[in-house]
Chains A and B, each alone.
Chain A
Amino acid sequence: MNEGLNKPEYEIPPEMKHSVAITTIDRIYNWSRRSSIWPMMFGLACCAIEMICTAASRFDLARFGMEVMRPSPRQSDLMLVSGTVTKKMIPQIVRLYNQMPEPKYVVAMGACASGGGPFKEGYNVVSGVDNYIPVDVYIPGCPPTPQALLNGLITLQKKIDTQSIRDVRWYKKGTSETIPVPVLGPDIMDPREYDLLRQYTFQKLNPENINQPSVAEQEKGS
């Protein structure tokens, strides 16, 4: 966001002098956070194998302070979505995400987690985990090699470096919003979309209403 602020050599205008201390705290705060990201031990598919290899001896995640893989979402900072996200699994993923404490990050590893990947056209595949939870870094590739994953994690560290303790969401007032867990219906249903859903199925029931603007068009207009 404002990368220059994080550098000590940044010349501070006189009227901003009072904020010097806070940028320094930002650096320490971000440095300590970025160097001890604990990922959740959470493998979905093929990419998980590359994730395990990254954690193993050749690539060694421990060099980044990330070797502590926590099976419990309560103890982890980073959700590495490593593989195809299916409709049957997405309620669980959203639930796990909601259980993670702030600050939390999500990395979509590989084509499947980013946008559906080769299995996108499948009837049980979610077109990208970002349909349901916010994603910080996307790593393309099918699968990304361990070095590509490390590159993605370094990209995440860079993002952490740019955050400031003053405007991060987890120190804002009020509780953080939980994402409503999708429901397994005749197809996966997002509780936030029930209005649209009713409209859509009703329209499908009465094809003679075809002259009325379709849901898709209404969406576009709004």
Chain B
Amino acid sequence: MSAQVVTENVDLLEKFPQSVKQDDRAGYAGYIVSADHLLEVVRFIRDDMGFDYLASITGVDYLPNGLMEAVYHFYKTSGGPGLVIKTQVDREQAAIPSLVSLYPGADFQEREAWDLLGIRFDGHPDLRRILMWEGFAGHPLRKDWHEPYYEEEGKPYKSRWPEGKVYRREDKNPFHKNVDYPAGFDPDKWVPDDDSTLYASVNKISSAGGESGIKTDYVIVNMGPQHPSTHGVFRMVVALEGETIRALKPVMGYLHRNHEKIGERNTFLQNMPFTDRLDYLSSMSNNFGYALAVEKLMGIKPPERAEYLRVIMAEFTRISNHLFAIGSLLNDMGAYFTPMLYAIEERELILDIFEATAGSRIMCNYFRFGGVARDLPEGVEEKMRDLAFKRLPRKIDELDLYLTNNEIVKARGEGVGVLTPEQAIAYSASGPVLRASGVPYDIRRADPYSIYDRFDFDVAVRYHGDVYDRYLIRVDEMRQSVRIIQQALNGLPKGPIQEGKPQYLVRVPAGEAYGRVEAPKGELGFYVVSNGKANPWRYHVRAPSFVNITALETMAKGNKVADTVAILGSIDIVLGELDR
């Protein structure tokens, strides 16, 4: 990291009296910066105040006030609490200067805000839609945009009870499908997007990056969305010179399930099972982040036993996720399915615990606001102990023994897909990707939540930032997770598991909250805005896979095309969270 002059306690208000003001809405925190001076203020925040990490960008549509707001969450990679700044612009001509020049990690998040909310980011190098396709009508997260199956602003819908005559929603649509078209639209005159702007943006980058001086044409190759190595429906457009990658553009949205739009229709509690389906390999961590965000708003804390159970479950999730990640990374490297079989075996045993406690193997829905859903059934603690003290340590060692010094893993991993620490921070990478690049930034340590400050564990760091280190760091993290589980199991107190009575309609005071956890894939943040009603006004997910993938091009450039598969595998993306 570059040496920075960090002036503590600098008052932004004093420094920029004209353009910065305190956000004094009830339940809100941070500063409101005028859009004209945003770049200037942010540069000061980064260079002089030391907030080198842009965690999240969220667009919020304040329809009643006619405002469109962009919310930025900054943190320091050296740890500590964050800084929130906001920019408000007129809703109809929403335009905000882009931060890509200061924080390259803002790239995809700004494109997302443009796609879903229609906030134009001036100066963005490649402002195209990211989750929906070019040509889609409207910006769906705007509050006045209604989906074809629109019933009411918020759940519960009145048509379900007491006169709940059953119907299928498609039966009420003239097309018997989930579609709607603008008035006067003529399909014969429609020219579908042929991806020309996408290819142009790949070409623009690739022709600028020519080294030899000889003008050569690059070959453009599409990988995905149906491709065995893309971990789901993900697509990469690669510009090749021979076999070497000169440019790469990820194309996503093939699994965009409108998580946030549905989330704003749901009540607060109803979102809990939906978070399971974000990162479907580690649903407990997703529950954790969302529960933290809403608990922050409500100002409650779960009882001791619930805290311990939460930590145990989250760490088991981390292990099962990393097992799966290592298995599929080996798949991508060519060790087809055999290492995966052994990894899945351990994962199955962990899933048995989840199934016995939470009721489902992968969609746990276990956390509640102020506690957890149920206590451990009989015999489960025994099973956990067997795993945490006997089987898992042995099996992780076994995995380490067989894979770590394997020639193929080394040959395909060492020096491939390198991300330097400066790049990793600039691209807002998080989780194993960031720590494999030598930045010891783990939210469990840097900004402890729940009861992580009580446990003795090491933040795993590796320094090469290549595929091999990203593999190693997952092995290290599994060992640390086992340590945490062992301590938590030994310290597991008796007592209640839920604060107060379980309620299905929770009272959430108006305000905003950003809850973040160290999910297995990185920083998972939930930005929730409540206006005091039963449904959240804004519900945004800062998904680690989505932000980590911003750095994919930098990692892949200069490598061979076969390496992209390994690089992608080492980032460990999951599409449910990438596309939401």
Interface positions of A (Cβ within 8 A of B): 41-46, 48-50, 52-53, 56-58, 71, 83-84, 86-89, 92, 96, 115-116, 118-127, 131, 142-143, 145, 183-190, 193-194, 196-198, 200-202, 204-205, 214-216, 219
Contacts and interface: CB of A to CB of B under 8 A. Distances in A.
B124 interface: no
> Which 3 pairs across A and B sit closest by C-beta, in order of nearness?
A122-B258, A186-B137, A204-B183
12 contacts: A43-B232, A45-B280, A58-B348, A89-B255, A118-B277, A119-B259, A121-B149, A124-B258, A194-B187, A196-B174, A197-B175, A205-B183
B502 interface: no
Interface string B146-171: 01110100000000000000001110
Contacts of B337: 56
B364 to A, nearest CB: 12
A113 to B, nearest CB: 12
A120 B169 contact: yes
Nearest to A47: B280
A205 B181 CA distance: 11
Contacts of A194: 187-188
Contacts of A215: 174
B40 interface: no
Nearest to A67: B337
B147 A122 contact: yes
Contacts of B184: 201-202, 204-205
Contacts of B362: 46, 49-50, 143
Contacts of B72: none
A173 to B, nearest CB: 31
Nearest to B331: A52
B185 interface: yes
Interface of B: 131-133, 135-137, 140, 147-149, 151, 168-170, 172, 174-188, 190, 192-193, 225-228, 232-233, 253-259, 261-262, 265, 273-274, 277, 280-281, 324, 337, 340-342, 344-345, 347-348, 361-363, 575-576
Contacts of A44: 232-233, 255
A194 B257 CA distance: 26
B256 A53 contact: no
B192 A186 contact: no
Contacts of A87: 178
A184 B133 contact: yes
Contact of A89 (B151, B170, B233): B233
A55 to B, nearest CB: 8
Contact of B185 (A53, A89, A92, A186): A186
Contact of A124 (B132, B175, B273, B575): B132
Contacts of B345: 56-58
A197 B181 contact: yes
B136 A86 contact: no
A145 to B, nearest CB: 6
Nearest to B228: A71
Nearest to A195: B187
A123 B142 CA distance: 13
B187 A198 contact: yes
Given A56-B341, A123-B140, 17 more contacts: A52-B340, A53-B348, A88-B256, A92-B226, A92-B254, A115-B168, A120-B169, A121-B149, A123-B178, A126-B177, A127-B168, A127-B169, A131-B177, A184-B192, A185-B181, A185-B192, A197-B185
